[in-house]
């Protein structure tokens, strides 16, 4: 790896941006690390260069790529953070400080695991870009794991699978997540990895390619006739994901239907919906397998149209339709999101909404176990979006109920809720909502008291806190007897 490759990759993604600081960072780091050797026998400077290149690949900003080159300087050389601040400014120095402060993340049983998670969460709350650097640092370390003893390989792979890969998924950085998982798979389950890799890459490769080409042959003329500029590519499910699906669903490799999907990448949102219509005229769609993540994005910002159709010979195939910006955000996650906001000269310093949730939970819970539990439950649990009757999207945790939605609208709406209408059907307040449900809350004007029994099915912190707050004020043990009709199923 050379600094010239890093600069070229960065400039390709950011034409017109002055990248001179990357050469200066390299000169500084090369001098500081001179004489240091990695376990592989190569000069140490190769590691931070690879980290910086990975950052440039995921479209990280200039300061983050420069910090990637410099990230090991304070910890492994005689140069200090003050030296970095004096030479490269406060922003880059603070990013390197964040990496240094994060320290070595290691899996050492449940207690240490939770402490490490807390470090990761709090580092994200300070500056999310610190985590980008940490992920790329870990990915390059995983790629060079062969040079370490087997015991250490196992430990590092387990750390990576348990800590790094899940958070990369939360942030939507799938390019890093799947690489981390497949490398862990290789070291933790070598026999399963080798068998699956052979079946995937050797036995089924020709069959996959032929099927893919048949679909392109049918689809391309229709897109050309509609004058839609497009790029079609295939997305293969990575090996660890297939392995997990085989285990959880107790299936063989040949029984996994969604081993690959076709992506149609177009110029704008209007073309996305035009392509969807064309696809459904060529092949019959499978019922209940259409998802519009453009109208209602996933919580990590993912946007795309998904449809599953009965393709050639009646075989099921998933097609994903998106713009180039959506495609890159789906691969690079928040890093690409920052990149596109910067191109539009928007405020890239604004952190995701769940960052504030982390900070609020930190203030409330000083105990590490409680802190991590609340983060996992309230922030990083799978999220869904439901819609108001006017089409406003409300983000809720997976498993949320209409009472969570009611309190998300307003505390008064929650307190006075009596029933819900979900997709134009009357539902109980403990009904489990699904992504894209349209929800309306029916309230009773004179009812201002929540039902204590709602705590049995409320999922969000806001709903639970509001219900508990009234329960503490109430002099009666059973609140629900004052609310006719509530608490019954």
**Whether 75 is catalytic:** yes
Count each helix (H run) and each strand (E run) in the chain, helices first.
23, 11
- Domain map (residue ranges) of the chain: 3-189, 196-334, 381-482
Highest mean pLDDT: which range of 104-118, 249-263, 366-380: 249-263
Instruction: Look at residue 414 and give its three-state secondary structure.
Output: helix
Per-residue model confidence (pLDDT) at position 166: 77
**Considering the domain 3-189, what is its CATH architecture?**
Orthogonal Bundle (1.10)
Please determine, for residue 457, whether its predicted confidence score (pLDDT) is greater than 80. yes
The model's pLDDT over 37-90, given as tens digits with 9 standing for 90+, comes to 988 889 999 999 999 999 998 888 899 999 999 999 998 899 999 999 999 999
Per-residue model confidence (pLDDT) at position 313: 81
Q: Which residue's entry shows tokens 């819900």?
A: 420
Q: Both tokens of residue 129?
A: 């870009």
Average pLDDT, the chain: 81
Choose the weakest-confidence range: 104-108, 197-201, 241-245.
104-108
Measured CA to CA in angstroms, residue 190 lies from 163, 203, 284, 460 at distances of: 20, 19, 40, 41
Per-residue model confidence (pLDDT) at position 23: 95
Q: 381-482 maps to which CATH number? A: 3.10.20.30
Please determine, for residue 423, whether its predicted confidence score (pLDDT) is greater than 90. no
Which of 30, 76, 197, 395 is labelled catalytic?
76
Stretch 381-401: mean pLDDT, rounded?
74
CA dist., res. 128 & res. 121, Å (int): 9
Choose the weakest-confidence range: 54-68, 252-266, 310-324.
252-266
- Give residue 100's pLDDT band: very low, low, confident or very high (50, 70, 90): confident
CA dist., res. 104 & res. 94, Å (int): 18
Per-residue model confidence (pLDDT) at position 466: 86
Q: Which fold has domain 196-334?
A: Beta Polymerase; domain 2 (3.30.460)
CA atoms within 13 A on the CB side of 26: 20
Contacts of 41 (CB under 8 A, 6+ apart): none
Which of 4, 31, 42, 75 is labelled catalytic?
75
CA dist., res. 460 & res. 453, Å (int): 15
231-267 as b/e: b if 16+ CB within 10 A: ebeebbebbbbbbebbeeeeeebeeeeebebbbbbbe
Q: Determine contact, residues 389/396, Cβ cutoff 8 Å.
A: no
């Amino acid at each position: 790896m050379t600094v010239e490759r890093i600069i070229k990759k960065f400039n390709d993604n950011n034409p017109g941006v002055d990248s001179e600081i990357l050469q200066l960072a390299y000169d500084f780091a090369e001098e500081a690390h001179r004489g240091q050797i990695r376990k592989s026998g190569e000069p140490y400077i190769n590691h931070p260069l690879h980290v910086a290149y990975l950052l440039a690949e995921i479209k990280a900003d200039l300061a983050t790529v420069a910090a990637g080159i410099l990230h090991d300087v304070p910890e492994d050389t005689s140069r200090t953070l003050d030296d970095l601040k004096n030479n490269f400014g406060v922003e880059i120095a603070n990013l390197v400080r964040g990496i240094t402060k994060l320290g070595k993340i290691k899996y050492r049983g449940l207690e240490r695991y939770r402490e490490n998670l807390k470090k990761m969460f709090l580092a994200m709350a300070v500056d999310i870009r610190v985590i980008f650097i940490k992920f790329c640092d870990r990915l390059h370390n995983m790629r060079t794991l062969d040079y370490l003893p087997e015991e250490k390989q196992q430990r590092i792979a387990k750390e990576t699978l348990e800590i790094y890969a899940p958070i990369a998924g939360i942030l939507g950085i799938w390019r890093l997540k799947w690489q981390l998982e497949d490398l862990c798979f290789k070291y933790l389950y070598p026999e399963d990895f080798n068998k699956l890799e052979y079946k995937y890459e050797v036995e089924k490769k020709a069959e996959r390619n032929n099927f893919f080409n048949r679909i392109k042959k049918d689809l391309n003329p229709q897109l050309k006739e509609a004058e839609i500029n497009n790029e079609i590519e295939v997305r293969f499910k990575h090996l660890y994901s297939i392995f997990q699906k085989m285990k959880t669903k107790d299936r063989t490799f040949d029984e996994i239907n969604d081993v690959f999907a076709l992506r149609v990448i177009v110029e704008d949102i209007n073309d996305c919906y035009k392509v969807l219509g064309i696809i459904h005229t060529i092949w019959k769609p499978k019922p209940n397998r259409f998802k519009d993540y453009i109208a209602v994005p996933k919580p990590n910002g993912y946007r795309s149209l998904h449809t599953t159709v009965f393709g050639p010979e009646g075989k099921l195939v998933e097609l994903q339709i998106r713009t180039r910006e959506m495609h890159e955000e789906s691969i690079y996650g928040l890093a690409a999101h920052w990149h596109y906001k910067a191109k539009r000269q928007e405020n890239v310093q604004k952190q995701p909404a769940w960052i504030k949730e982390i900070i609020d939970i930190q203030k409330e819970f000083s105990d590490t176990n409680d802190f991590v539990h609340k983060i996992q439950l309230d922030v990083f649990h799978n999220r869904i979006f439901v819609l108001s009757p006017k089409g406003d999207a409300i983000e809720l945790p997976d498993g949320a109920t209409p009472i969570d939605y009611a309190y998300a609208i307003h505390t008064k709406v929650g307190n006075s809720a009596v029933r819900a209408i979900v997709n134009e059907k009357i539902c109980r307040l403990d009904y489990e909502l699904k992504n894209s449900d349209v929800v309306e809350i029916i309230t009773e004007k004179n009812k201002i008291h929540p039902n204590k029994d709602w705590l049995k099915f409320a999922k969000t912190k806001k709903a639970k806190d509001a219900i508990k707050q009234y329960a503490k004020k109430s002099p009666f043990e059973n609140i629900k007897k004052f609310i006719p009709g509530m608490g019954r199923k």
